[in-house]
Amino acid sequence: MLAKEIERAGIATAFVTALPTIATMIGANRVVHGPAITHPAGMDSTERRRIVERALEMLETEVEPTTVWEAPP
């Protein structure tokens, strides 16, 4: 709901979450599928960098509603 309401205000929002199905069901538009509930943003700095870069790329991309991108392996 946070992602949707912030986007409703016109601010592009990338949502990094381990539960993309719930995120899109609620209406988040830019969803990055993080690795796990206990560390959605990445376990180590290398993984985090990849996930954050993916999220930034998504913020710079025109997307359809409720788009999910997998974090790169």
Partner 1 sequence: MVRAVHYVNQFFAGLGGEEAAKTPPTRIEGAVGPGRGLVPLLEGIEIVATLACGDDYFAEHEDEALETLLGFLREDKPDLLLCGPAFGSGRYGYACARLGASSPVAALAAMHEENPGVAAAGKTLVVPTAVNVAGMRDALPRMAALAGKLVSGAELGPPAEEGYLPRGYRRNRTAEQPGADRAIDLLLAKLTGETRSEIAAGFDRVEPPAPVDLSGALLALVTEAGCVPQGNPDRLPTIRAQGWLRYALDGEEGMSADRFQSVHGGFDVTLANEDPNRLVPLDAVRALEREGRIGRVHDAFYTTTGNGTPVASSTRFGQEIASELRDAGVQAVLLSGT
Q: Which residues sit at the interface with partner 1, rule CB under 8 A? A: 1-19, 23, 25-27, 29-30, 34, 37-43, 45, 48-49, 51-53, 55-56, 59-67
Nearest approach in angstroms of CB 39 to partner 1 is 4
Q: Which residues pair with 70 in a beta bridge?
A: 33
How far apart (Å, rounded) are the C-alpha atoms in residues 2 and 68? 16
Closer residue to partner 1 (CB): 56 or 72: 56
**Residue 29 burial (C-beta neighbours within 10 Å; 0-12, 13-18, 19+):** buried
Nearest approach in angstroms of CB 57 to partner 1 is 9
